[in-house]
Structure 1
């Protein structure tokens, strides 16, 4: 099976409506891509701001995120449970899930990006065949490939 659906039974009006939905979907995907790109830029800024190497001798005396000096007893810093960098209290983000769990700013932003983009889902499912079309990509390919049985197919390019 080639992964293309037979859409020859659709009327021109039905095809037009499907194409309108596909155009709207494309516009929404572009908006979502801009939003995700902005989140990724924020993550890069957080990484640059606190770029610290674990092997430097100051790594235990400064926060790995904001580079503030850490105290001996008060705000001595704690290791992020995920990345194991030592961070101060203001660079810790409390998680909303029940107990007092926290992550550093960078790990929290990474988790937020995965949640908002759906990356967590694609990490969990096995990639059996990357060539298979799904969702709107499948409908677009089907609209392009099939021979028109009831008039011409409407082009969905802008």
Structure 2
């Protein structure tokens, strides 16, 4: 094997030296390098009317999508608030949602994992968590989790403003 030097080729790959890397970094090449003449000419030109129209259409479409997303999240939040307003029980002796009597004389009850209120098995939702065992949620807490999931609130650690 012959060593071809800094600029030449060799039979096997070798890690370039720091000096070689420093020299390569100064060369105007690669995806981030500024080209020569065409880029400088472009800076002095104005955007054409067609290009401006394309940009305006993209901005308008993004605004429309944002508005539709806000409406969707608003519907989810309205549905959740309606569920919260329509509770009939106390969550202790009566089902928090339908108001049915719980316990030995009434329906079977489960405790919501999130709000710790008692609900009947008709108004409860059985689901799983990160651990392999099942948990129960009332429909309000289940809907709350759905809103957090669908709106992206879990990512931003808070519900979006409407």
TM-score, normalization by structure 2: 0.58
1:18 maps onto 2:55 in alignment: yes
C-alpha deviation, 1:38, in angstroms: 1.3
Q: 2:92 aligns with which of 46, 60, 65?
A: 60
Helix, strand or coil for the counterpart of 1:78?
Answer: strand
- Higher RCO structure, 1 or 2 (CA under 8 Å, sep 6+): 1
1:78 maps onto 2:110 in alignment: yes
Cα distance, 1:73–1:67 mapped onto 2, change above 3 Å: closer
> Which 5+ residue runs of structure 1 have no aligned equivalent?
1-7, 54-58, 125-158
Structure 2 distance, partners of 1:51, 1:16, is: 55
> Which one has the largest radius of gyration?
2
Q: 2:81 aligns with which of 21, 36, 44?
A: 44
Helix, strand or coil for the counterpart of 1:90?
Answer: coil
* Cα RMSD for the two superposed structures: 2.6
Helix, strand or coil for the counterpart of 1:87?
Answer: strand
**Paired position in structure 1 for 2:19:** none
Helix, strand or coil for the counterpart of 1:95?
Answer: strand
**Paired position in structure 2 for 1:135:** none
C-alpha deviation, 1:73, in angstroms: 7.2
Cα distance, 1:20–1:75 mapped onto 2, change above 3 Å: same
1:105 maps onto 2:139 in alignment: yes
**Paired position in structure 2 for 1:121:** 155
Structure 1 distance, partners of 2:46, 2:147, is: 39
Q: How does 1:83-98 map to 2 (within 5 A)?
A: 83-95=115-127
Kindly provide the CA deviation profile for residues 16-36 of structure 1, in whole angstroms up to 9, marking residues without a partner as x.
323212211111221221121
